[in-house]
Structure 1
Amino acid sequence: MPLRKPDRVAPELLAQFCFDLAPPPEKLDWTGLFGNDRPVELEIGCGKGAFIVHAATTRLEVNFAGIEVVRKYQLYCATRLARRNLKNAKMACTDARFALAWSIPTGSLQAVHVYFPDPWWKARHAKRRIVTPEFLVWVIRTLKEGGTFHLASDVPAYFQASEEILASQPLLIRQNLPDDRGTITNFERKALAKGGEIHHGIWLRPTSELPPPPPDPQRLFSVPLPGHQFP
C-alpha cells in the first residue's frame, strides 16, 4: 500500500524536526540538539511514527530521537511531529548501527526501542537482522546505568532468536514488566488483525560497566541495508 502523505509543512519547519549525524569522530550533542538536558530515548526503525509520536506527546519530560534507514519514512515521521509541534522529538535518516557505534555518546541514552524490525525471513538474509551480539554491545555502551532496551515483534521465531542473543549478554537483564507503550504500530495492527501474537520484552542495564567494543567495529557495517550507503 502506498505511503499516504500527511499534510505538508513548510521545509524550514520540517527541518526543525530532523537532525543529521556528523562524520566520526564527532559525537552528537543531545543538549545542543534539543536545547535542554532532559533524558533521551532512541527509537530505531520508526516506520510511520506511531510510537515516537505517542511517546513525545504523552511524555513531554523526555526527548526522543528517531532513526529511520528509509528517507521517506524519516520525513513522514518528521512531518507528523511538526504538525503537532512536538519539539521534544527529532528524526534522522541513517543506519542505526552506524549511529550507535560512532555518533551517540557513551552512556547518554535512557532507553533504546526496537519495535517490529524486519525479520529477514530467508536464511541467507538472517545476517541482516538488527539484533546481533555486536549490535547489543553498542546498545549497552550508549545506555546509562539503569537504562532499558525494549523489543517487540509479531514473529515468534525472530523474537526467540533475539531472546537467546540477549540472554548471552550479562550486562542486560530481562525484566518482568508489562508492555507499557500505550499505542500500537502499523505493523502491530496488521498482525493483530490476522490473529497474530505480539511478543515484547524489556531488558535493564544494571551497572555502568562497559563491555569492550567488538574487535572489528566494521563488522557492524559488513552487511549494509538495501539502498543505504554509509558515510
Structure 2
Amino acid sequence: MGKPLVGTDGNRIVTYLLNPETNLNEITIYDYVTHSKTYLGGINGFSDFSKSSPWGMSEDGTTIVGLGWYNTMVGQAIKWTAEDGIVSLTTNNNDSSRANSISNDKSVIAGWQDTPFGFRQGAVWKNGTQILLTDQDGLEVNEAGEVSGNGEYVIGLSSTYPYIWNEQTGITYIDHPSAGNFFRGGATGISFDGSKVVGYYRG
C-alpha cells in the first residue's frame, strides 16, 4: 500500500513494511546510511494487518502524509513529524480520507475525503484547515493527487477531465477534443510553480 518515497539527499527512504513487534504493516523510515528502520505506527486502529501507509513526503523528508486506520472500516488522512508523531488531519470519524501530497513548506496537503455516499471528493488541508473541492458549478471533483512545491496549485481528476485547483481561481479543467464518458483523463504531476502539468487521457 502507499508509495515508496525518497528524500532529496537519498538517505531517507519511506515505505510500507511489517513491524515484527506488532505484526502490522505501517509507515516505516529506512535510513540508507545506518541501514536502520524506524516504524511510525498509526492512529487508533488497523485493517487487514495494515496500520498506516505513506503517500507523500516533504522535499526535506521531515514530514510524511498518508493514511492511518481509525478502525477496520475507516481510514483517515494523517501527517507525521518527529515532533508530533502521527496526527489525524480530519475531524470526521465516520467517512474515510487520505493525504496524498504535501508542499515544500509543509503548509498545504492534497488528498481526498469520502462523502457519506462513498464519493472520493478532492480535499486540501491548508495550515490544518480542510477545504473540499468543487468546480464553478458547485459539482464535487474527485481526489487531488499532487500539490505544487510552492503550495499554490493542486491537481487531480474529475469524472471526465484532469483539473488544476488554485485558491483564488478555483477549478480549471484541462480539456481534450475527444473528452467524454468513454475518454477520460487525470493530472498526475506538476512543476514547482504550477506552470506545467502532466497527465493522461485514455479510453
- Could you tell me the TM-score, scaled by structure 2's length? 0.30
Which structure carries more strand by proportion?
2
- Could you tell me the TM-score, scaled by structure 1's length? 0.28
Structure with more contact order per residue of length (Cα contacts < 8 Å, sep ≥ 6): 1
Which structure carries more helix by proportion?
1
